[in-house]
Amino acid sequence: MISVPPGYVAQTTSTLAACLARVPHLAERLGGKPDAWHIEEVGDGNLNLVFKVYGPRGAMAVKQALPYVRLVGESWPLPLSRAHYEHTALSEQAKHTGRLTPEIYHYDDKLALIAMELLEPHIIMRHGMIAGIEYPRFAGDISTFMARTLFFTSDLALAADRKKAMIGAFSGNTALCKITEDLIFTDPYRIADLNRWTKPFLDAYAARWREDDDLKLAASRLKLKFMSSAEALLHGDLHTGSVMLTTQDTRVIDPEFAFMGPMGFDVGAMVANFLLNYFSQDGHEDQAGARNSYRAWILQTLVQIWNDFAEKFLALWRGHATGDAYPSSLFQGELGAIRLEAERRAYMSRLWTDTLGFAAAKMIRRILGLAHNIDLEKITNERVRATCEARALTLARDMMVNPGGYPDIAAVAAAARSMRAWTPEFS
Ligand code: SR1
Ligand code: MG
């Protein structure tokens, strides 16, 4: 039996009502008597319990951390403290992005439980993209979320003491960082018990990826950056499963992997998930070409996400440079302003290179590592799935070892389009 701190009890649909009833403002929000509340467990993520709770007056979502990795079971213990980091990150993100995060109603540290706004009729974005739904607001919303959370928690906006306090506040989230360090940057490139891939089609790919020194060096360089560059507060797991939305409203959820890390890691996660979904569409269309216009939307949105993000981030830097980095007193006059603007452009270019590398690492891990994406997993014809995956793997490898070939996001979109025309040998 896994040990848990005193007071912690993993909730079930039978126990949760009594637990919520002990918090007067939650009971008030739900209305009526606890035995009239309808509760469902709906968690389909890798780590936690998630409940939907409906009362006569109102409703809420309740997320509770389990003391182990749900995907694997009790053999992989995981600290409950991740609920604390998630709650702290949600509060910080809400300060900068307002309604792009769910409203928090209550946090219980002992139970590692967060009660929050129930997002309905929102769905998990990954499911919407598998169904071929276009989200016209998404690029604007996610670029705002990333630009504002990353800028306002960086040295460009914060005084040095506040930035270091923030590093301290998130420095204990080591177990979640270790998952990323192992599952994204290490395991896909070695023989690891939990690795899996579409067999037998991708056997040769998995072997080649493990033997590729250029790739392993690039992945290790990214890992070092992830471990050592405390640039800003990251969401830490910003994929399309961490977004709930409708065509009119976007919310970013689940920042339990939050820590102070390199900005490109968050932006790269979004890029990776768009590319994976793009390649998966061949497995979701009922006849060849049926998803052509959706594929075009994916790539056009991908391009807009980076371009809008870069523009918004630069605008924040020009208008709100309240941090201790780049003191304005050093860049006075017309020439100073010109040099500083050139420096901003160079910064964005480095951030683009990081984004490209992290995106590639995140694509590879979802195909050769433990935790896969339903975008690809849902494709039941394994040869078709492996074809989509081989294309994604091949593009990702090139993005990681040959970043100079991708000067901008449009080049990535163009390469994805060409890669789709390539047929792997087993197909
Ligand atoms: C063992 S946890 C596997 C993955 O699930 C989460 O969503 C993160 O992406 C993590 O890497
Ligand atoms: Mg999650």
Ligand 1 neighbour 179 (Cβ under 6 A): yes
Residue 145 · residue 208 · CB < 8 Å: no
Ligand 1 neighbour 195 (Cβ under 6 A): no
For the chain, residues classed under CATH 3.30.200.20 are 16-116
Distance 254 CA to ligand 2 centre (A): 5
What is the average pLDDT value for the chain, to the nearest integer? 98
Closest C-alpha residue for ligand 1 atom 11: 180
Ligand 1 neighbour 69 (Cβ under 6 A): yes
Confidence class of residue 48 from pLDDT cuts 50, 70 and 90?
Answer: very high
How far apart (Å, rounded) are the C-alpha atoms in residues 374 and 278? 13
The pLDDT of residue 349: 98
Atom of ligand 1 nearest to the CA of 71: 1
What are 143's two structure tokens?
């670029």
Residue 124 · residue 239 · CB < 8 Å: no
Ligand 1 neighbour 238 (Cβ under 6 A): no
What are 52's two structure tokens?
């939907």
Residue 111 · residue 49 · CB < 8 Å: no
Mutate to test the pocket of ligand 1, among 44, 47, 194 (most ligand atoms within 8 A of CB): 47
Question: Is the pLDDT assigned to residue 259 strictly greater than 80?
Answer: yes
Tally of CB atoms within 10 A around 424: 18
Ligand 1 neighbour 194 (Cβ under 6 A): no
Distance 48 CA to ligand 2 centre (A): 8
Ligand with minimal distance to 178 CA: 1
123-419 under CATH 3.90.1200.10, yes or no: yes
- Write out pLDDT tens, residues 331-361: 999 999 999 999 999 999 999 999 999 999 9
How far apart (Å, rounded) are the C-alpha atoms in residues 248 and 186? 39
CATH architecture of 16-116: 2-Layer Sandwich (3.30)
Residue 31 · residue 103 · CB < 8 Å: no
- Write out pLDDT tens, residues 374-411: 999 999 999 999 999 999 999 999 999 999 999 999 99
Distance 43 CA to ligand 1 centre (A): 14
Distance 112 CA to ligand 2 centre (A): 15
How far apart (Å, rounded) are the C-alpha atoms in residues 302 and 412? 9
Question: Is the pLDDT assigned to residue 168 strictly greater than 90?
Answer: yes
How far apart (Å, rounded) are the C-alpha atoms in residues 115 and 224? 35
How far apart (Å, rounded) are the C-alpha atoms in residues 197 and 368? 5
Distance 46 CA to ligand 2 centre (A): 7
Distance 364 CA to ligand 1 centre (A): 14
What are 350's two structure tokens?
């480095």
- Residue 72 vs residues 69, 85, 357, 366, 374: alpha-carbon distances, Å: 6, 22, 28, 16, 17
- Write out pLDDT tens, residues 285-322: 999 999 999 999 999 999 999 999 999 999 999 999 99
What lies within 8 Å, CB to CB, of 287 at 6+ separation is none
The pLDDT of residue 44: 86
Ligand with minimal distance to 82 CA: 2
Ligand 1 neighbour 125 (Cβ under 6 A): no
Residue 308 · residue 270 · CB < 8 Å: no
Average pLDDT over residues 78-89: 98
Ligand 1 neighbour 2 (Cβ under 6 A): no
The pLDDT of residue 51: 98
Distance 236 CA to ligand 2 centre (A): 9
Residue 6 · residue 13 · CB < 8 Å: no
Ligand 1 neighbour 304 (Cβ under 6 A): no
Looking up tokens 């998995």 gives 206
The pLDDT of residue 3: 83
Looking up tokens 């981030």 gives 313
- Write out pLDDT tens, residues 109-160: 999 999 999 999 999 999 999 999 999 999 999 999 999 999 999 999 999 9
Closest C-alpha residue for ligand 1 atom 3: 371
Closest C-alpha residue for ligand 1 atom 9: 237
AA identity, residue 286: D
What are 336's two structure tokens?
């100073």
Ligand with minimal distance to 272 CA: 1
The pLDDT of residue 45: 86
Which of 309, 300, 310, 299 has the alpha carbon at shortest distance from 395?
299
Question: Is the pLDDT assigned to residue 1 strictly greater than 80?
Answer: no
Residue 427 · residue 403 · CB < 8 Å: no
How far apart (Å, rounded) are the C-alpha atoms in residues 231 and 61? 32
Closest C-alpha residue for ligand 1 atom 8: 237
Distance 240 CA to ligand 2 centre (A): 10
Confidence class of residue 250 from pLDDT cuts 50, 70 and 90?
Answer: very high
For the chain, residues classed under CATH 3.90.1200.10 are 123-419
Ligand with minimal distance to 75 CA: 1
Atom of ligand 1 nearest to the CA of 78: 1
What lies within 8 Å, CB to CB, of 279 at 6+ separation is 376, 388, 389, 391, 392, 416, 419, 420
Atom of ligand 1 nearest to the CA of 47: 2
Closest C-alpha residue for ligand 1 atom 4: 371
How far apart (Å, rounded) are the C-alpha atoms in residues 228 and 188? 21
Average pLDDT over residues 214-235: 98
Tally of CB atoms within 10 A around 294: 18
Mutate to test the pocket of ligand 1, among 176, 182, 237 (most ligand atoms within 8 A of CB): 237
